Amino acid sequence: MLVHELIFRGKNDTLAIIEGQQQITYQQLQEKTAAYRDFFYSIGIRYADNVALCSRNCQEYIYAYMALNSLGAVAVPINFQLSPREISYIIKDAGIQFFITHKKLDFTIGGKDSIGSALQQILLADIDAQPGQQPPAPALPADFSEENTGAIIYTSGTTGTPKGAVLSHKNLTRDAVMFQKFLQVKPTDNILCVLPMYHCFSWTCAVINPLYAGACITILAAFSPKECLDTIRERQISILYAVPSICSLIAKLGRKEDLQSLRITVLGIPFASDKLVSCMQFPQSAA
């Protein structure tokens, strides 16, 4: 299975994404991804190009990622909280020419452009402003398979310079399949995506696993206790992926009625250099 094929898993008229007051069906998700795909091809993004994605959580991040993969391009998610110097290292190391972002960055360091003038920065907001009349991008090559690279995830660089971990479409989709076997996510589930999408834990669990299940993803750009609790209650969130600090605040500040809809909470727990994942399942009536 290819990553971008996940957007066809849900029924066309069921909700795929909720962000604020916007509600996007699976059919609309497919249409948006196709429009992004055609736009990316029109500006020169091609098969096997490494393309940076640097943004806060938003629905446009999903459209861009899926569109890149559908062209055979490789998504390179970048932590938007990194400094321009740190980002420029990744750009140079991955040979990136296209930088998709929620805001343009200044890579001038010490009066010099640290990455040269070849980098093309593309604002997500500008993509939606396009008239959507670009010619359709060509289909993938016949020999393209799930063994092809889908993403390059850069390590945090705590023991040296960041390293790019190459992940195939098969790596990414099999992770979603394994989580599905364990958690049994249903099409009726609403999954909260509040952890940053650039991180593999959030992307695998709160984005591609719900898409694999044909479920709904509710997006928050960042964590704030009140907004998170309000969203869980108002949107009837049933699955939450979080870290201990988030769960601690939710448990401290949340009321029983705020958490009534939750049936599964999955924690990503740092331990040395690894990520251990623990899972708590709640009866539907539990707080």
Q: Tell me: the pLDDT tens digits for 16-59?
A: 999 999 999 999 999 999 999 999 999 999 999 999 999 999 99
Same domain, 204 and 104: no
Task: Report the chain's terminal Cα–Cα distance, integer Å.
Answer: 37
The answer to whether position 8 is within a domain reads: no
Last residue of a domain, one of 127, 145, 168: 168
**Domain boundary residue, one of 115, 142, 168:** 168
Show the domain range for 271: 171-281
Indicate whether 131 belongs to any domain: yes
Of 118, 137, 168, the domain-final residue = 168
Q: Which tokens go with 101? A: 């972002």
CA pair distance 6, 23, nearest whole angstrom: 18
Decide if 10 is inside a domain: no
Q: pTM to 2 decimals?
A: 0.92
Q: Give the β-pairing of 50-54 and 108-109.
A: unpaired
Average pLDDT value over all residues in the chain: 90
7 in any annotated domain: no
Q: Are residues 110 and 135 in the same domain?
A: yes
What is the count of structural domains for the chain? Answer: 2
Do 164 and 31 lie in one domain? The reply is yes
For residues 18-49, one letter each, b for 16 or more C-beta atoms within 10 angstroms of the residue's C-beta and e for the rest, the string is bbeeeebbbbbbbebbbbbbbbbbeeebeeeb
Assigned domain for 16 exists? no
Whether 151 and 194 map to the same domain: the answer is no
Tell me: do 161 and 43 sit in the same domain: yes
- Determine the pLDDT at residue 2: 98
Residues 198-233 have pLDDT tens digits of 999 999 999 999 999 999 999 999 999 999 999 999
Q: Is residue 19 assigned to a domain?
A: no
CATH number, domain containing residue 98: 3.40.50.980
Same domain, 41 and 141: yes
Whether residue 152 sits in one domain with residue 93: yes
Q: Nearest 5 degrees, angle CA 20-CA 223-CA 26? A: 40
Tell me whether residue 129 is in a domain. Answer: yes
Residues 80, 34 share a domain:
yes
Check pLDDT > 60 for residue 197: yes
Q: What is the pLDDT of residue 225?
A: 94
